[in-house]
Amino acid sequence: MQIQGKTALITGAAGGLGQAIAEELSARGATLVLSGRNREVLEALADRLGGRVEIADLERSEDVDRLAAIGAELDIVVANAGIGNDGPIRELTTESIDRSISVNLRAPILMTTCFIQAHLAAGTPGHVVLIGSLSGLAASPQTRMYNATKFGLRGFGLSVRQDLHGTGIGVSTVEPGFISDAGMFAQSEVDLPAMVRTKKPADVGSAVADAIARDRGEVFVSPIELRMMSTLATVAPGFSARVQRSLDVAGRKN
């Protein structure tokens, strides 16, 4: 889909990755609808890039329904909002489980479904981008709910893309690895092993735009060696777990 002249809704637009996505789509000629919880940041971004702000909390069903209805009338939806920071397993609660599922999985699935149904009914093209993670391919310690929801989001995105073949409606899943300067990894202050490289927020923005423009099913935003290790983890999770223990991955997250 050509981005120039289209209107795009971006969730989680107040965060660093959301801002990078907004900047890239704006540079390519899209009009923006910026959503998130931080009004001050969103309004400053809208002043700089144009577009409008929709304040929403994806833990609230009514906010998700409202955003889904807005997105269904637009050309592009980028489901970027997400939460991580799993606590210790002994502290896992029903509330924290529900929160992760609501924000990371339920909201993007409902928004995507509403978007698809509206565009199928109208016979119009459109594109959805789901922001996943390499954590949707490779499990790691202390990220159980993040892994669970990103595994689920990847499965949903790849499946519904097949359902839409030939309709003119695209669904892409963008899978970032470790992103410096913004996003959950940057906020976590994890001490990466020396051989592990990172990407920049702008790389995520470029990947999103590329996915839309070229109708790509899945785009990885990571160095090739990290992608290869994540892919290996899908077929050899035990080996991946041993490698992570040898690198003291759990200790690096403390």
**Alpha carbon distance 223, 167 (integer Å):** 33
Residue 101: DSSP 8-state: H
Can you give the residue ranges of every domain in the chain? 7-252
Q: Could you tell me the sign of the dihedral formed by the alpha carbons of 11, 15, 17, 19, in that order?
A: positive
Q: Is 138 exposed, middle or buried (0-12, 13-18, 19+ CB in 10 A)?
A: buried
* Residue 84 φ then ψ, to 5°: -135, -130
Task: Tell me which of 6 and 239 has the higher pLDDT.
Answer: 6
- Give catalytic residues, as residue numbers: 146
* pLDDT band for position 215 (cuts 50, 70, 90): very high
How many helices and strands (H and E) does the chain possess? 11, 7
Across the range 168-176, mean pLDDT stands at: 97
Average pLDDT, the chain: 90
Across the range 197-208, mean pLDDT stands at: 92
pTM (two decimals): 0.90
Q: Residue 212 in contact with residue 127, Cβ under 8 Å?
A: yes
Q: For residue 127, what are the β-bridge partners?
A: 76, 170
Q: What percent of the chain has pLDDT over 70?
A: 90
Q: Residue 132 in contact with residue 180, Cβ under 8 Å?
A: no
Across the range 215-219, mean pLDDT stands at: 97
Q: Are strands 126-131 and 169-176 parallel, antiparallel or unpaired?
A: parallel
Task: Tell me which of 91 and 248 has the higher pLDDT.
Answer: 91
Q: What is the CATH number of domain 7-252?
A: 3.40.50.720
Q: Could you tell me the sign of the dihedral formed by the alpha carbons of 200, 76, 173, 13, in that order?
A: positive
Residue 44, token pair as written in the block = 């400053």
Residue 215: DSSP 8-state: T
